[in-house]
Amino acid sequence: MNKKIRLFQSIHFKIAIVFVLLLLVTLEVIGASFVKQLEAQNVKDFKQSLQVTPYIQNQLSSELVNDNGSTNKNVKEIIGDMGNSAEVQVIDSNGTIRGVTNLNNQSTIGQKTRNSRVKQAIYSGHTEQEVVYSESQGSYYTAIQPLTNSTGDNNTVVGAVYIRASMEDVYKGISSITVIFLTSSLIAGLLGIVLSIVISRAITRPIDEMKKQAIQMARGDYSGQVQIYGQDELGQLAIAVNNLSVRVEEAQEASESERRRLDSVLSHMTDGVIATDRRGNITIINETGQDFLNVTSDDIIGQSLLKVLNIGEEFTLRDLLETQQEMVLDFSNQQEHDLILHVDFSLIQKETGFISGLVCVLHDVTEQQKNEREQREFVSNVSHELRTPLTSVRSYIEALNDGAWQDPEVAPNFLKVTQEETDRMIRMINDLLSLSRMDQGTSKMNLEFVNLNEFFGYALDRFDMMIKRDQEHENDLEPVVTGKLPTDDPNKKYSINRDFTNRDLWVEIDTDKFMQVVDNIMNNAIKYSPDGGVITCRLLETHRHVILSISDQGLGIPRKDLGKIFDRFYRVDKARSRQQGGTGLGLAISKEVIEAHHGRIWVDSQEGKGSTFYISLPYEPIETDGGDWDEI
């Protein structure tokens, strides 16, 4: 913008050349007019100086009329005084030269004139004048004045006076004056150039300073001020530029502050925001929008919004401008994770009604959609899980009501099944209530520091006792935890291996809830382990965590089901789990309990090779005495 300006493009040169041209044109016009008038006046004065006075004309006329022997002599005397500046000839009416002033032409006296113009003047009686130029003689003036004799009412031409004079002196004088004028004009022109430069600099200096200030303003520097040289128009313009600089700086600061505020708002918004121009091409996108669409601003700026949102086949830009239709877009296929966006459109419209673009707001409704889907699935699963035992209970009650209660062999079995289904529904309701309290945060945690080695060993001892008693009494005694051994084959044999760290690990847990987690996982391990299976329980210490794991040798969990194993009512083998009396909520409750302890639970499984459940709890090493869990 501040590129160098050539001399001929500069306003300094333009103003100076204008002044010089005006001065030169003025001097030339004045000089031409002056020289022309001077020349005309000098020629006029020269001609008047050569005119024959009436007195001399009368004398010459009288001598020519009274022709005698002394006429020529008298004529010579009369015109003798006129010969100082010009050559004069007197010719009578017959064309005879009667007198000359040029001494070299005295021999022509008495001869006939050869000048036809003289003869013509005598004949016509009109005065003739002429300025003649020749290369040999230069410029000269000739005049022929007829001489008349007044006799009565008639004027008779008795002769003529021929005057010839050189005009070189006249033109030399005019040339001298012209040279003087040109010299003066040149000096005036030089002085005019100097003055024009001075004046142009005086005029353009404030303009140049205002130009520099405008360039600084364009670059964002508003610190300068234009110097005020006077209170004329340029001074008022300088004041206006200074005021404009202050106003623009204030407006720029306000605009910059507003832009930073807007950028901060857009950057920290949890919703994605996209702005387009009136053609639907993206001009602005915030960081959240980039994260949602897995793009960068450099890649997406200038692209069509329809293409970016992948809605070009269903909608046009006119549809969005006319209806601003809300929509829900599923980007799960384009992302590595589930992503469902709710999209709102609004117009960017000026006060005149001109639409200059669109604003698109992207709201992540993935969790909301997931919760709604899980809620629907949960309601469906609860309904399904309760409907099966309720249908069974209703069927047995109807059978008893129809008279089966009187059959001593059938009635007890019907009542037993009814009781078992009722217990199953009670367990399910209790589990649902526990999950509900955990979801709402109303479940109270009774935390205490516990030696996890002894606590885990105590829990496993209970299962060892259950297995031992089952083997001894062949299902005559029922387990303490569930009322029966959690397996579909009471003749299967199990063994539990322990692999604990030698160091006591003290952690803060709710013993009742944590015992429920261990029971759930152990019940599943026993339930799905084959005959003669070994359940391995490990306890080890890592950096700031303690890891508890339970491994079985069962059927394992398919890879596609690993991510859903902790969902509510989710069963890998639905028919077998329901047959064994499970509610499908045990692992979901376990996950909620471990997360309430700020821990983590996960599973590692290979289909056909068994599963390993891991529980990680926060751990800070402390020194304390052990406890005796056998006394509980």
CATH superfamily of domain region 264-364: PAS domain (3.30.450.20)
Residue 5 pLDDT > 60, yes or no? no
pLDDT at 491: 57
Q: Which residue has the tokens 């890592």?
A: 542
Could you read off the pLDDT of 26-83 as tens digits, one per residue?
888 888 888 888 888 888 887 777 777 787 778 778 877 777 766 777 777 777 766 5
Residue 629 pLDDT > 50, yes or no? no
pLDDT at 8: 59
Percentages (nearest 5) of helix, strand, coil residues in the chain: 50, 20, 25
For residue 195, give Cα distances in angstroms to 15, 22, 227, 586.
Answer: 11, 13, 23, 105
533/631: higher pLDDT: 533
103-131 average pLDDT score? 80
Identity of the highest mean pLDDT range in 110-114, 373-377, 430-434, 468-472: 110-114
pLDDT at 384: 63
Note whether 321 and 347 are within 8 A (CB).
yes
For residue 462, give Cα distances in angstroms to 469, 488, 496.
Answer: 11, 20, 11
pLDDT confidence tier of residue 630, bands split at 50, 70 and 90: very low
Share of the chain above pLDDT 90, in %: 4
pLDDT confidence tier of residue 523, bands split at 50, 70 and 90: confident
Which of 198-207, 287-296, 500-509, 610-619 shows the lowest mean pLDDT across its residues?
198-207
Reduced to 3 states (helix: H, G, I; strand: E, B; else coil), residue 279 is coil
CA 123 to chain centre: 101
Residues 570, 576, 577, 578: what is their CA dihedral angle, to the nearest 10 degrees?
100
Reduced to 3 states (helix: H, G, I; strand: E, B; else coil), residue 386 is helix
Note whether 276 and 320 are within 8 A (CB).
no
How far apart (Å, rounded) are the C-alpha atoms in residues 155 and 161?
Answer: 16
Strand ranges in 444-505 using DSSP code E only, listed in sequence order: 447-451, 494-500
Long-range contacts of 101-105 (CB under 8 A, 24+ apart): none
Joined tokens for residue 147: 């001489």
Could you read off the pLDDT of 430-471 as tens digits, one per residue?
777 776 776 666 667 788 999 998 998 888 888 888 777 766
pLDDT at 62: 80
Element (H, E) at 164: strand 154-166
Which of 299-313, 336-350, 474-488 shows the lowest mean pLDDT across its residues?
474-488
Joined tokens for residue 575: 């028919």
Mean residue pLDDT of the chain comes to: 79
How far apart (Å, rounded) are the C-alpha atoms in residues 167 and 140?
Answer: 5
How far apart (Å, rounded) are the C-alpha atoms in residues 417 and 420?
Answer: 5
pLDDT at 536: 92
In 3D space, the residue among 166, 162, 198 whose CA is nearest the CA of residue 79 turns out to be 162
Which of 16-20, 33-37, 542-546 shows the lowest mean pLDDT across its residues?
16-20
Note whether 123 and 106 are within 8 A (CB).
no
1-205 maps to CATH 3.30.450.20: yes
Taking residue 264's Cβ as centre, other Cβ atoms within 10 Å add up to 10
Q: Within 13 Å of residue 131, how many CA atoms lie on the same side as its CB?
A: 10
- Phi, psi values for residue 455, rounded to 5°: -65, -45
565-582 average pLDDT score? 61
Domain boundaries of the chain, sorted by first residue:
1-205, 264-364, 446-473+486-623
Helices 410-440 and 366-401, axial angle in degrees (round to 10) = 160
pLDDT at 472: 62
339-348 average pLDDT score? 87
Long-range contacts of 16-21 (CB under 8 A, 24+ apart): 16/193, 16/196, 16/197, 16/200, 17/196, 18/196, 19/192, 19/193, 19/195, 19/196, 19/199, 19/200, 20/189, 20/192, 20/193, 20/196
CATH superfamily of domain region 446-473+486-623: Histidine kinase-like ATPase, C-terminal domain (3.30.565.10)
In 3D space, the residue among 87, 64, 66, 70 whose CA is nearest the CA of residue 157 turns out to be 64
Could you read off the pLDDT of 407-425 as tens digits, one per residue?
777 788 878 878 877 877 7
Predicted TM-score of the model (pTM): 0.43
- Phi, psi values for residue 622, rounded to 5°: -135, 160
Per-residue DSSP letter, 103: G
Residue 487 pLDDT > 50, yes or no? no
Domains 1-205 and 446-473+486-623 belong to one CATH topology: no
Each residue of 481-494: b (16+ CB within 10 Å) or e? beebbbbeeeebeb
Note whether 121 and 144 are within 8 A (CB).
yes
Taking residue 352's Cβ as centre, other Cβ atoms within 10 Å add up to 5
- The distance in angstroms from the start CA to the end CA of the chain is 89
Note whether 348 and 356 are within 8 A (CB).
yes
Joined tokens for residue 339: 């992503």
